[in-house]
Amino acid sequence: MTPSLPISIVRKPQDVLETLFGYGEFRSQQAAIIEAVMAGRDALVIMPTGGGKSLCYQVPSLCMDGLGIVVSPLIALMADQVSSLNQLGVRAAYLNSTQEFSVQMDVINAVRNGELDLLYVAPERLLKEQTLEVLRQIKVALIAVDEAHCVSSWGHDFRRDYLELHLLKQHFPNVPRIALTATADERTRDDIAHNLQLQSPDIFIDGFDRSNIHYRVALKDSPKKQLLEFLQQRKDEAGIVYCLSRRAVDATATLLADNGYDALPYHAGLDAAVRARHQERFLREDGVIVVATIAFGMGIDKPDVRFVAHMDLPKSIEAYYQETGRAGRDGAPAQAWMVYGLQDVVRMSQMLSESQADEAHKRIENEKLNALLGWCEVTACRRAALLNYFGDTLQTPCSGCDVCDTPPKTWDALESAQKFMSCVVRTGQRFGAGHVIDVLRGADKERVQQLQHDTLPTFGIGGDLSEAQWRSVVRQLIAQGYLYADAARHGGLRLSEHARPLLRGDVPLQLRVDATSKGSSSSKSRSNRARSEPAIELSELDTMVFEELRATRKRLADEQSVPPYVIFHDATLREMAQLRPATANEMLGLNGVGQTKLDRYGAAFLLTLGGGDAAEMAGPDYESQPGLEEQYGSWSDEEPTEFG
Ligand code: ADP
Ligand code: ZN
């Protein structure tokens, strides 16, 4: 292989960023992280999903002498990343046990001959004596451990293979190691530094804010209708809709398909081949919606997921953050949307109590669920509350959540809460919300009479509120920890220990007024905007151009069997549709267009844009026309490095 690619010449991080990746500047702490690694120090990097972790080890690997090794647990991701790098003209390959022996040998040989800048490898493969043997003979620039939280048994993705990675310290004592993750409670962080035996690492914590994600939680009243309303302006956008049960997944996927969406179900009950096909379509095609249980998502690295919708409550704020984190990895605006109601709470508590976990574990899970409920019912900025949960604070005011869009009205609910709670006590703390509300509202129902609850002093004292209003009170009392649904008693409501001061009237109680479903649908107005990097609003004409560019991208992607986003991200195409570059140089000015991509695809997209010189010079077989070389500078005459 001839060292003709620009990377072997370009050595400064800023140059690599510009010429290779096509980006103008480093984000937040990227430059500092790269500097630390290039100075030979260990680093621990905590950055939210989509924050740009990959550049932190890719750039130094391309600037430093020797091979950059990237340990990654997810085989699907490896292939994707390598394919993206190859598109940039970077000499990268991966090594894992799914490859045929001969392919593995090719990669090993390339490593031996110094033909690679980056090697992605699964942990168990890296620590094989055979691999180490080869690596010891060459110069290793750095070792990156991606998804480093897998080394912590505290986290939910613990992997035994990862524990062995501390051996890297012995095998490569002088090679800087950089551990990266998006999960970052303190305990996980300590585990990573300790279990990997990082040497007084520089620690970079980038905060949890996913500023391009807009958060919205609405009361679930007619979920199907609400979902369709939400999706109305999102035809052709890729997204994930999460449901709790397989049945709900199937029903929702059918609903969306019936309404003209390209929606596919995904859950563990489906044939493995069907699941693989659906996942593949989601990755490869534009605008596919996957309706899924949480079985779907791990290892999905699609950057242009425009929304994540929850039809049911997730388990915890952590789970919610992780699931919604799959939206908008490309930095363009994305939506996290959820509907939830009292039924969800009861159902979740019940599922919890039926689980096989031990009591201590159940208690923790229950606390986590309650924290999530509390978050659903916040009366101040939802983003701030989310960050707060992770020990992070919001620097600038948020304009990317439902609460900030339309601050909820609150009311003094102390007396109503007292009425409700005393009715719960009078009826023996064994009934669900429905019955207690019947008693309060003096309902003429057989069950009430049979139980003689019409003789209680609390019978009929709650006629001032409607049933829906009472349900809202109950939900919020549960969310605030005053009541809980006792799973051991079929979800019967009980008072918690915090209820006493409230019953005595020692503390105030403000509850939010639920937005009615009519009110909530008016959220269209500005709620769909997220704060940073506002989406370029495309005019009708630009949208048509954008669609043509997407078609070109799809064709180029299909030719190489890679996902479209590997060619260019949506954001780049959007910018292209709006600015309509007419020359190679103008094209190079777009975010996400570096030299190699320009060389490879510039002509094709210029042609699609129909403008400038490309159209005149390049026919459909533009690639074989020598004249273009002068026009666009050097064509990369080399095929991407493909080892797999
Ligand atoms: P993470 O691994 O942290 O989830 P990635 O490394 O995949 O995130 O980066 C997310 C997206 O942000 C990618 O599309 C990447 O190309 C883009 N990106 C990263 N750094 C920059 C930068 N400095 N300027 C512009 N885009 C960037
Ligand atoms: Zn907000």
Task: Give the nearest ligand 1 atom to 49 CA.
Answer: 4
pLDDT digits (tens, 9 = 90+) for 364-419: 787 788 889 889 988 889 999 998 887 778 877 788 999 999 988 889 999 999 99
Query: Relative to the alpha carbon of 216, which ligand is closest?
Result: 2
Question: If DSSP codes are grouped into helix, strand and coil, which group holds residue 370?
Answer: helix
Residue 344 has pLDDT above 80, yes or no: yes
Burial of residue 602 (number of CB atoms within 10 Å: 0-12, 13-18, 19+): buried
Q: What is the pLDDT of residue 613?
A: 52
Residues 6 or more apart in contact with residue 446 via CB below 8 angstroms: none
Q: What is the pLDDT of residue 612?
A: 52
Task: Look at the domain 540-629 and name its fold.
Answer: DNA polymerase; domain 1 (1.10.150)
Does 517 sit in the ligand 1 pocket, CB within 6 Å?
Answer: no
Band of residue 299 on the pLDDT scale cut at 50, 70, 90: low
Residue 438 has pLDDT above 90, yes or no: yes
Query: Relative to the alpha carbon of 408, which ligand is closest?
Result: 2
Taking the centre of ligand 2 as the mean of its atom positions, its distance from the CA of residue 520, in whole angstroms, is 16
Rounded mean pLDDT, 268-297: 91
Mean pLDDT of the chain: 85
Range with the lowest mean pLDDT among 35-49, 292-306, 425-439, 514-528? 514-528
Q: Which CATH class is domain 13-209?
A: alpha beta
Residue 203 has pLDDT above 80, yes or no: yes
pLDDT digits (tens, 9 = 90+) for 27-49: 889 999 999 999 999 999 999 88
Rounded mean pLDDT, 350-363: 78
Q: Are strands 202-205 and 43-46 parallel, antiparallel or unpaired?
A: parallel
Residue 583 has pLDDT above 80, yes or no: yes
Nearest residue by C-alpha to atom 24 in ligand 1? 23
Residue 22 has pLDDT above 70, yes or no: yes
> Cα(336)–Cα(448) distance, rounded to whole angstroms?
41
Does 85 sit in the ligand 1 pocket, CB within 6 Å?
Answer: no
Nearest residue by C-alpha to atom 17 in ligand 1? 52
Return the closest-CA partner of residue 366 out of 496, 561, 172, 542.
Answer: 496
Does 55 sit in the ligand 1 pocket, CB within 6 Å?
Answer: yes
Does 405 sit in the ligand 1 pocket, CB within 6 Å?
Answer: no
Does 206 sit in the ligand 1 pocket, CB within 6 Å?
Answer: no
Higher per-residue confidence, 379 vs 217: 217
Does 431 sit in the ligand 1 pocket, CB within 6 Å?
Answer: no
Nearest residue by C-alpha to atom 11 in ligand 1? 330
Q: What is the pLDDT of residue 395?
A: 74
Rounded mean pLDDT, 226-240: 94
Residue 183 has pLDDT above 80, yes or no: no
DSSP state of 590: S
Q: Where do the DSSP E strands lie in 146-288?
A: 177-181, 202-205, 213-219, 239-242, 263-266
> Cα(333)–Cα(213) distance, rounded to whole angstroms?
6
Q: What is the pLDDT of residue 38?
A: 94
Residue 621 has pLDDT above 70, yes or no: no
Q: Specify the CATH number of the domain 213-404.
A: 3.40.50.300
Does 53 sit in the ligand 1 pocket, CB within 6 Å?
Answer: yes
Q: What is the pLDDT of residue 156?
A: 63
Q: Specify the CATH number of the domain 410-514.
A: 1.10.10.10
Task: Give the nearest ligand 1 atom to 569 CA.
Answer: 14
Q: What is the pLDDT of residue 187?
A: 80
Residue 617 has pLDDT above 50, yes or no: no
Residue 232 has pLDDT above 90, yes or no: yes
Does 322 sit in the ligand 1 pocket, CB within 6 Å?
Answer: no
Q: Where do the DSSP E strands lie in 254-333?
A: 263-266, 289-292, 307-310
Using the Cα atoms of residue 634, residue 637, residue 643 and residue 644 in order, give the sign of their dihedral. Answer: positive
Rounded mean pLDDT, 127-155: 90
Does 314 sit in the ligand 1 pocket, CB within 6 Å?
Answer: no
Higher per-residue confidence, 352 vs 137: 137
User: Does the global pTM surpass 0.75?
Assistant: no
Band of residue 427 on the pLDDT scale cut at 50, 70, 90: very high
Task: Give the nearest ligand 1 atom to 24 CA.
Answer: 24
Query: Relative to the alpha carbon of 84, which ligand is closest?
Result: 1
Residue among 15, 55, 58, 211 whose CB has most ligand 1 atoms within 8 A, to mutate: 55
**13-209 and 213-404 share one CATH topology?**
yes
DSSP state of 407: P
Rounded mean pLDDT, 452-465: 94
Range with the lowest mean pLDDT among 181-185, 214-218, 429-433, 459-463? 181-185
Residue 625 has pLDDT above 50, yes or no: no
Among 190-204, 294-308, 616-630, top mean pLDDT goes to: 190-204
Residue among 21, 85, 178, 181 whose CB has most ligand 1 atoms within 8 A, to mutate: 21
Burial of residue 70 (number of CB atoms within 10 Å: 0-12, 13-18, 19+): buried
Q: What is the dihedral of CA 358, 362, 365, 370, to 10 degrees?
A: -170
Q: What is the pLDDT of residue 528?
A: 38
Band of residue 63 on the pLDDT scale cut at 50, 70, 90: very high
Q: What is the pLDDT of residue 629?
A: 30
Taking the centre of ligand 1 as the mean of its atom positions, its distance from the CA of residue 612, in whole angstroms, is 31
Residues 6 or more apart in contact with residue 495 via CB below 8 angstroms: 421, 424, 425, 429, 482, 483, 503
pLDDT digits (tens, 9 = 90+) for 481-528: 888 877 666 668 899 888 999 999 999 999 988 865 443 333 333 333
pLDDT digits (tens, 9 = 90+) for 69-91: 999 987 777 888 899 999 999 99
Residue among 25, 26, 27 whose CB has most ligand 1 atoms within 8 A, to mutate: 27
> Cα(210)–Cα(588) distance, rounded to whole angstroms?
28
Residue 254 has pLDDT above 90, yes or no: yes
Residue 59 has pLDDT above 70, yes or no: yes
Taking the centre of ligand 1 as the mean of its atom positions, its distance from the CA of residue 118, in whole angstroms, is 17
Is residue 383 a contact partner of residue 400, using CB atoms and an 8 Å limit? yes
Q: What is the pLDDT of residue 206?
A: 85
Taking the centre of ligand 2 as the mean of its atom positions, its distance from the CA of residue 407, in whole angstroms, is 9
Does 330 sit in the ligand 1 pocket, CB within 6 Å?
Answer: yes
Does 51 sit in the ligand 1 pocket, CB within 6 Å?
Answer: yes
Strand partners, 86: none
Range with the lowest mean pLDDT among 100-114, 446-460, 475-489? 475-489
Rounded mean pLDDT, 273-294: 93
**Annotated domain spans of the chain:** 13-209, 213-404, 410-514, 540-629
